[in-house]
Amino acid sequence: MSTFTFSAIVGIAVVAEYRPMQSRTIDHAKQEGRLILAQLALEHVPTGEEMISIELFNGTGEPLAELRLCYQELEKQPGAAERVD
């Protein structure tokens, strides 16, 4: 088992640090990170072109991965067909 920790980031600010967790694989830790990201999205709905993310670290604090959720608003023009290539 390996130790992993998570940081929650909204925009450019770290908003939360999560307690270390034990996991067998990095894939399992990423799965847990996706759940944390979904919870974070409920608490901090992004506005504008803001991004929320979860950063995953190993037990010594080295970054391993960042899981991101981006929000965009795209204006549409009535009657204009969107081109699909």
Q: Is residue 84 part of a domain?
A: no
Instruction: Give the total number of structural domains in the chain.
Output: 1
Contact (Cβ atoms closer than 8 angstroms) between residue 54 and residue 31? no
pTM of the full predicted structure?
Answer: 0.75
Residue 30 belongs to a domain: yes
Query: Is there a domain that residue 58 lies in?
Result: yes
CA atoms within 13 A on the CB side of 1: 5
Which residue segment(s) compose the domain that 35 sits in? Answer: 2-70
d(CA 10, CA 20): 20
**In this structure, what CATH number is given to the domain that contains residue 35?**
3.30.70
Cβ atoms of residues 30 and 43 within 8 Å: no
DSSP 4-30: EEEEEEETTEEEEEEEEEEESSHHHHH
Per-residue tens of pLDDT for the chain, all 85 residues? 899 999 998 887 788 788 889 999 999 999 999 999 999 888 887 777 778 999 999 999 999 999 998 877 788 888 766 666 6
- Whether residue 80 is contained in a domain is answered as no
